[in-house]
Amino acid sequence: MSNATLTCEATLTGRQRVQRMFARQDHDRVPRHDTFWGETIERWQGEGLNGDARHVLEMLGSDFHQIAWCWPAPLAGRDQVIEVDAQTRIVRDGHGKLVRYWRDRSGTPEHLGFDCDSREKWQRIYKPALLDSGLQINPPAARRAERLGREKGKWCYMACVEPFEQTRAMMGDELTAIAMAEDPEWVADVAEAFTSEVMRNLDAVIAEGAWPDGLWCYGDMAYNHATFCSPKMYRELIWPQHRRLVQWAHAHDMKFIYHTDGNINAVIDLYLEAGFDCLQPLEAKADVDVRKLAPRYGDRLALFGNIDVMVMGSNDLEALEAEIAGKFQAGMATRGYAYHSDHSVPPTVSWATYQRLIELVDAYGRYD
């Protein structure tokens, strides 16, 4: 079958569909995936959902399958509980971070302090611990997960955390920003060390015999108005490690998906220079809009997401249909678009609304 003669009636596996999306070849429908808050699934179960998040993804028709997760920590496995009360718990984690979590619900944790608060402590304690931490991934489990994904015809990927997120997790936002300006060599060293550890773990999965289709790299490098650092600082300190991860993925015949929230419009050209294949989830409330991005970048960069969870959470079905119809039309024009919410689906979204969303994704996401 030639690339030009595939019609929407053809049946593709999820893997074929995503691969053709990346290649801008004809495919039957928009690839799909999503993520949900735990409280969202609990709400939906009270409103008639008979299953869990995996069941919802089956209903959606997700084409993606994660086989491994990698977030190296210098003090791996350490979650020292410091204090517990009726609503929260305070933990010292494997990055040396003191953090307060809600006990019974999701939400942004409160960062109370960071033990790695100087270059001296990084070099004396945290860097040696990281380099001596051993594998923090389970290669045999990843290989088994890949076999399961292949049996289901899914596009299989490994996931990891990228170096800017790693640096912020260990040093905190304030110290990271100060160090980028006053001690950039320290930040560059942290980013390089974490990236090397990620790649060492991923190499172990490849050595086990797994051969995923992609590397999905997570890290938030922006807020709703701009990136956390200037494009120049990003280019000098973090971008080289992003490029290493992309080159590793491409050397293993994998596509590179980058997840970041926030307004990243000012650095998209740098993403392209590094070789990124795809951006996700394209946060709508941060002025990221597939209708603007697709005409400019859609032939070089796959766009994954951008369906506004604020619109979903209004439970206004007419507004939801307009959101999907307009953004699907723009993304699909490039043959390089996949569905995802622009953030994890929150519990403000009713089960009836999400069932309607699945219908709309199917109705508007099919190619002629």
Please report which confidence band the pLDDT of residue 212 belongs to, taking 50, 70 and 90 as the band edges. Answer: very high
Containing structural domain, residue 26: 3-72+135-364
Q: How confident is the model at residue 9 (pLDDT cuts 50, 70, 90)?
A: very low
How sure is the predictor about 14, in pLDDT bands with cuts at 50, 70 and 90?
very high
Written as six digits, the tokens of 184 are: 């950039």
- Residue 164 corresponds to which tokens in the numbers above? 């800017």
Q: Is residue 160 part of a domain?
A: yes
Share of residues in the chain with pLDDT > 70 (%)? 97
Residue 115, domain member (yes or no): no
Predicted confidence band at 5 (pLDDT cuts at 50, 70, 90)?
very low
In the chain, how many domains are there?
1
Closest to 319 measured CA to CA, from 332, 329, 309? 309
Is 1's pLDDT higher than 70? no
Task: Report, as an integer, the average pLDDT of 116-141.
Answer: 96
- Its sign, for the CA torsion 122, 125, 131, 136, is negative
Residue 3: pLDDT band (50, 70, 90) is very low
Residue 2, pLDDT score? 34
**Strand partners of residue 318:** none
| Percent of the chain at pLDDT exceeding 90 | 91
Closest-CA residue to 265 (of 233, 221, 307, 309): 221
CATH number, domain at 208? 3.20.20.210
- 209 is a domain residue: yes
Quick check: is 288 in a domain? yes
Q: Please give the angle made by the CA atoms of 77, 80 and 86, to the nearest 5 degrees.
A: 130
pLDDT at 203 over 70: yes
Give the residues across from 97 on adjacent strands. 114
Domain presence at residue 60: yes
Summarised one tens digit per residue, pLDDT across range 94-116 is 999 999 998 888 878 898 999 99
61: amino acid identity, one letter? G
Taking CA 223 as the corner, what is the angle to CA 218 and CA 227, rounded to the nearest 5 degrees? 80
Task: Give the whole-angstrom CA distance, residue 363 versus residue 358.
Answer: 9
Q: Is residue 120 part of a domain?
A: no
97 in any annotated domain: no
Other Cβ atoms within 10 Å of 198 Cβ, number = 27
The residue written with tokens 């490039």 in the block is 334
pTM above 0.85, yes or no: yes
DSSP β-bridge partners for residue 260: 281
> Is the residue at 89 inside a domain?
no
pLDDT per position as a tens digit, 146-199:
999 999 999 999 999 999 999 999 999 999 999 999 999 999 999 999 999 999
